[in-house]
Amino acid sequence: MRYAFAGLYIVMVLAILACMSVAKSSYRKIKGAVLMLLTMLIPPMIGNMIIILSTAKIPATIGCYIYFIGMDSFIMALLHFTFEYCVISWPSKIPRYLVHAVLTIDVIQYAMNPIFGHAFDTEAIQVDGRPYYRVIPYLGQTYHRVIVYGIFAAVLVIFLIKMIRSARVYMERYFVILITLVLTGGWQSYYIFSRTPVEKSMAGYGIFGLLIFYFALYYRPLTLLDRLLANMASDMPDAIFFYDADGRCIWANKPAIELVGLKDDKFDRSPELLQKKFGDKYDVSDSEWSGVKTVGCGSKASYYFQAKRTVRDEKGHVTGSFLTIRDITAEQKLLQQERYNATHDSLTDLFTKEFLFDSIRKKIDENPDQDYMVHYIDILNFKLINDVFGTEFGDRTLKKLATFLRDHVPSDGVFGRIGGDTFGVLVPKEAFDEKKLEEDLNAFTMNEGPLEHHIVIHVGVYEVVERDMEISFMFDRALLAMSTIEDEYQTHVAFYDEKIRNDVLWAQHISAQLKEALRKRNVVPYLQPIVDTDGNIVGAEALARWIHPHDGFLPPSDFIPVFEKNGMIVEIDRYMWRCACEILSEWEKQGRDLFISVNISPKDFYFMDVASEIKDLVKEFDLDPSKLRIEITETVMMTDVENRMKVLDDLRNEGFIVEMDDFGSGYSSLNLLKDMPVDVLKIDMRFLTSNSDDVKARTILQNIINLSKDLGMFSLTEGVETKKQLEMLSDMGCKLFQGYYFAKPLPLNEFDSLLASWSA
- Which residue ranges make up the site for ligand C2E (CB under 6 A)? 528, 543-544, 555-557, 560, 569, 572-573, 576, 599, 601, 631, 661-662, 685, 718-721, 738-740, 745
* Piece of the chain touching Mg ion by CB under 5 A; list 48-56, 199-207, 263-271, 628-636: 628-636
To the nearest whole angstrom, how small is the minimum distance from the Cβ of residue 536 to Mg ion? 21
Our CB check for ligand C2E shows the closer of 202 and 720 to be: 720
Strand partners, 287: none
Residues 6+ away with beta carbon under 8 Å from 361: 471
CA pair distance 64, 134, nearest whole angstrom: 9
Task: List, in order, residues 6 or more apart from 217 with CB less than 8 Å away.
Answer: 23, 26, 28, 30, 31, 34
Residue 360 interacting partner from Mg ion, ligand C2E, none (CB closer than 5 to 8 Å by kind):
none
Q: Which is nearer to Mg ion, 135 or 530 (CB)?
A: 530
SS3 486: coil
Nearer to ligand C2E, 494 or 572 (CB): 572
Count Cβ atoms below 10 Å from residue 20 Cβ, excluding itself.
18
Pick one of Mg ion, ligand C2E, none as the site partner of residue 745 (Cβ within 5 to 8 A by kind): ligand C2E
- Indicate the residue among 376 and 559 with the shorter CB distance to ligand C2E: 559
- The piece of 94-102, 169-177, 520-528, 662-670 that touches Mg ion (CB under 5 A) is 662-670
CB of 382 to Mg ion, least distance (A): 34
Q: Which of 257, 255, 263, 260 is nearest to 238 (CA)?
A: 255
Task: State the nearest-atom distance from the C-beta of 733 to ligand C2E, in Å.
Answer: 20
Q: How many whole angstroms from its chain centre is CA 446? A: 35
Given Mg ion, ligand C2E, none, residue 694, with its beta carbon under 5 to 8 Å by kind, binds none
Identify the three-state secondary structure at position 693.
coil
* The entry of Mg ion, ligand C2E, none that residue 750 binds, CB within 5 to 8 Å by partner kind: none
Binding mask 574-613 for Mg ion (x = CB under 5 A): -------------------------x--------------
Residue 391 identity? T
Nearer to ligand C2E, 90 or 740 (CB): 740
What distance in Å separates the CA atoms of residue 311 and residue 323, rounded to the nearest whole number?
11
739 binds, among ligand C2E, Mg ion, none (CB under 5 to 8 A by kind): ligand C2E
Give the other-Cβ count within 10 Å of 293's Cβ: 15
576 binds, among Mg ion, ligand C2E, none (CB under 5 to 8 A by kind): ligand C2E
We find the least distance from the C-beta atom of residue 554 to ligand C2E, in angstroms, to be: 10
Taking CB under 5 A as the criterion, the residue among 662, 704, 708, 736 binding Mg ion is 662
Nearest to 19 by CA among 208, 155, 159, 179: 208
Instruction: Provide, rounded to whole angstroms, the least separation between the CB of residue 541 and Mg ion.
Output: 5
- CB 681 → ligand C2E: shortest distance, Å? 13
Region from 118-126, 287-295, 647-655, 657-665 binding Mg ion, contact rule CB under 5 A: 657-665
Using the rule CB under 5 A, which residue among 9, 661, 687, 720 binds Mg ion?
A: 661
Contact partner, 556, from ligand C2E, Mg ion, none, Cβ < 5-8 Å per class: ligand C2E
DSSP-derived 3-state class of residue 660 = strand
As measured in angstroms, the least distance from the Cβ of 462 to ligand C2E is 31
The minimum distance between CB 663 and Mg ion, in angstroms, equals: 9
Give CA–CA dist 656/628, Å, rounded: 7
Selected binder of Mg ion within 378, 604, 631, 679 (CB under 5 A): 631
HEC secondary structure over 635-648 = HHHHCCHHHHHHHH
DSSP state of 634: G
Rounded Cα distance, 381 and 485, in Å: 14
- Secondary structure of 707-721 in HEC code, one letter for each residue: HHHHCCCEEEECCCC
Active site residue 718: yes
Q: How many CB atoms lie within 10 A of CB 355?
A: 18
Name 399's Cβ contacts closer than 8 Å, sequence gap at least 6.
347, 348
Instruction: Name the residue nearer to ligand C2E (CB basis): 479 or 569.
Output: 569
Nearer to Mg ion, 199 or 718 (CB): 718
Q: What is the largest CA-CA distance in the chain?
A: 176
247 binds, among ligand C2E, Mg ion, none (CB under 5 to 8 A by kind): none
Q: Which residue spans within 429-505 are E strands per DSSP?
A: 445-448, 451-454, 457-463, 493-495
Strands 537-548 and 523-532: antiparallel
Tell me whether residue 661 or residue 679 sits nearer to ligand C2E (CB atom).
Answer: 661
- According to CB under 5 A, which residues from 668 to 727 bind Mg ion? 718
DSSP letters, 196-224, are -SS--THHHHHHHHHHHHIIIII---HHH
- Catalytic residue from among 84, 199, 541, 718: 718
State the Cα angle at 587 between 657 and 546, rounded to 5°. 80
Q: Which residues are known catalytic residues?
A: 718
Residues that bind Mg ion (CB under 5 A): 599, 631, 661-662, 718
